[in-house]
């Protein structure tokens, strides 16, 4: 079978999808269930229908585009990723796995391939935590890693619940129906940009992921006492932002001294109330993102943060409340999919590296119900989650070709 990737069409589609954005180009912002996200979803659905795929959408908006195999009742082979984008992001995160997955399917059809197992492109809802505070919302529900009851408790910053938001956009099925049965997928493969610098630095064009690091996230609220920035003397203050600063540095210290370079901690949101230049911060909300390849090391940093919180609360006479939003286990790839990906690389003479994903992905949760693996392509300077994120058309084409080859092996 001679597989040809239509690189020009794929590149044009990546550019077209980037136009559905709430940020000025080249930045992309596409938050789940905003009008922009809904338009992007319609556009993707039309591309999938054009390719002859049958579309199904579940109650949280996960979209399945299926190419029926010759044995339609056999377990499906899945591929896909997400199209939501954090504020001020780039064009490639998630999108390469969705549009590359679609082009891989089109290439297989053009080559006359007839799959025995159905091949399904899956576009996950809200891989990014921007709106509801938790990443991989769609895949957590698909895998049963988040219960419908816990999902119903999630709200966005305006207090709108998932139930309200999804009903407003016409998703009125029950969340109980989202979970996939064990054994729905024979295998799941996700193509993605690396979001780190290793492939580019080592000049290796492809990465086959054998493990996805364990993510955790917390929301921390610090309550101090506000007051007049001129009138309240320093010894009398209970400044919530100064307490937050201590906590942020304690977290950084714990991550840097964990004993491994794999521990990474970030405070990406700091909301200060009331937020006036001449008013002492009375309340601060922090969002913490903590990851590691080793679960116990990740959890020891969580413990260090808890003890720093107790010490800071006592010393500064502030109240600190910490809410753990998620603390997930790492995922191991399925050896048979890693082998199929490696074999496809070898077959085309492409060097590849077996590697760890430090970013999380929907595959982390799909791994709980099916064997998964991921294929990484380089991205310039390792940049991601920023507007200058970039992967070359050649790297995207190469990744799509290896994905198509691997889907063919798995679906035969
Ligand atoms: C995914 O977007 C991540 O934050 O790893
Ligand atoms: Mn992302
Ligand atoms: Mn992603």
What is the block-wise mean pLDDT of the chain (412 residues), using blocks of 10 residues? 96 98 98 98 98 98 98 97 98 99 98 98 98 97 98 96 97 97 96 98 98 97 98 98 98 97 97 98 98 97 98 98 97 98 98 97 98 98 98 98 98 98
Q: Pick from 43, 107, 137, 156: which is nearest to 360 by CA? A: 137
Q: Which ligand is nearest to the CA of 94?
A: 3
Count of alpha carbons within 13 angstroms of residue 393, beta-carbon side: 11
Instruction: Give the torsion through C-alpha atoms of 341, 85, 121, 377, to 10 deg.
Output: -20
Q: How many angstroms does the Cα of residue 360 sit away from the middle of ligand 1?
A: 5
Predicted local confidence at residue 312, as pLDDT: 98
Predicted local confidence at residue 148, as pLDDT: 98
Three-state DSSP at 211 gives strand
Predicted local confidence at residue 29, as pLDDT: 98
Question: What are the b/e assignments for 156-165, b being 16+ CB within 10 Å?
Answer: beeeeebbeb
- Per the CB < 8 A criterion, the answer to whether 284 and 271 are in contact is yes
Nearest-CA residue for atom 5 of ligand 1:
359
Q: How many angstroms does the Cα of residue 100 sit away from the middle of ligand 2?
A: 16
Which tokens belong to 210? 């054998």
Q: How far apart are CA 409 and CA 278, in angstroms?
A: 65
Q: How many angstroms does the Cα of residue 385 sit away from the middle of ligand 2?
A: 6
Q: How far apart are CA 387 and CA 136, in angstroms?
A: 22
> Pairing mode, if any, of strands 185-193 and 63-67?
unpaired
Predicted local confidence at residue 137, as pLDDT: 98
Atom of ligand 1 nearest to the CA of 195: 5
Q: Which residues does 152 contact at the CB level (< 8 Å), separation at least 6?
A: 161, 162, 163, 175
Atom of ligand 1 nearest to the CA of 94: 2
359 lines ligand 1 (CB under 6 A): yes
Which tokens belong to 204? 């290796």
360 lines ligand 1 (CB under 6 A): yes
Q: How far apart are CA 386 and CA 355, in angstroms?
A: 23
Numbers of helices and strands, H then E, in the chain: 12, 17
Predicted local confidence at residue 267, as pLDDT: 98
Q: Pick from 278, 280, 214: which is nearest to 244 by CA? A: 280
- C-alpha distances in Å from residue 141, one per residue of 19, 90, 171, 271: 29, 26, 15, 29
103 lines ligand 1 (CB under 6 A): no
Q: How many angstroms does the Cα of residue 127 sit away from the middle of ligand 2?
A: 7
Which tokens belong to 203? 């000049």
> Pairing mode, if any, of strands 206-212 and 352-357?
parallel
Predicted local confidence at residue 182, as pLDDT: 85
Nearest-CA residue for atom 2 of ligand 1:
128
Predicted local confidence at residue 95, as pLDDT: 99
128 lines ligand 1 (CB under 6 A): yes
Atom of ligand 1 nearest to the CA of 215: 5
- Per the CB < 8 A criterion, the answer to whether 47 and 13 are in contact is yes
Predicted local confidence at residue 309, as pLDDT: 98
């Amino acid at each position: 079978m001679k597989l040809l990737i239509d690189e020009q069409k794929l590149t044009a589609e990546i550019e077209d999808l980037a136009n559905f954005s709430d940020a000025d180009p080249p930045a992309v912002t596409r938050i789940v269930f905003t009008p922009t996200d809904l338009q992007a979803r319609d556009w993707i659905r039309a591309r999938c229908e054009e390719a002859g795929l049958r579309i199904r959408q579940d109650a949280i908006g996960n979209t399945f585009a299926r190419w029926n195999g010759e044995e339609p009742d056999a377990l499906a082979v899945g591929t896909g990723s997400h199209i939501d984008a954090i504020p001020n992001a780039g064009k490639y995160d998630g999108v390469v796995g969705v549009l590359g997955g679609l082009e891989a399917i089109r290439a297989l059809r053009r080559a006359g391939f007839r799959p025995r197992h159905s091949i399904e492109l899956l576009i996950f809802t809200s891989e990014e935590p921007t709106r509801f505070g938790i990443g991989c919302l769609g895949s957590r529900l698909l895998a049963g890693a988040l219960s419908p009851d816990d999902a119903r408790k999630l709200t966005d910053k305006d207090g709108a619940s998932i139930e309200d938001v999804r009903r407003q956009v016409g998703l009125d099925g029950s969340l109980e129906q989202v979970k996939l049965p064990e054994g729905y997928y024979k295998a799941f493969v996700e193509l993605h940009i690396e979001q780190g610098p290793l492939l580019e630095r080592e000049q290796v064009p492809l990465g086959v992921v054998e493990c996805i690091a364990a993510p955790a996230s917390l929301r921390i609220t610090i309550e101090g006492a506000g007051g007049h920035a001129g009138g309240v003397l320093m010894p009398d203050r209970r400044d919530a932002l100064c307490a937050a600063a201590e906590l942020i540095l304690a977290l950084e210290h714990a991550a840097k001294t964990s004993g491994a370079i794999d521990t990474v901690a970030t405070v990406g949101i700091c909301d200060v109330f009331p937020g006036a230049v001449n008013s002492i911060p009375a309340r601060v909300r922090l969002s913490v993102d903590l990851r590691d390849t080793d679960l116990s090391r990740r959890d020891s940093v969580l413990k260090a943060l808890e003890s720093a919180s107790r010490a800071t609360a006592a010393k500064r006479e502030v109240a600190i409340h910490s809410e753990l939003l998620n603390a997930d286990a790492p995922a191991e790839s399925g050896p048979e999919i890693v082998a199929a990906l490696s074999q496809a690389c070898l077959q085309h003479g492409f060097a590849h590296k077996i590697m760890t994903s430090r970013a999380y992905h929907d595959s982390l949760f799909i791994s709980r119900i099916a064997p998964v693996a991921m294929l990484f392509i380089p991205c310039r300077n390792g940049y991601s989650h920023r507007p200058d994120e970039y992967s070359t058309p050649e790297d995207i084409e190469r990744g799509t070709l290896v994905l198509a080859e691997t889907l063919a092996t798995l679906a035969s």
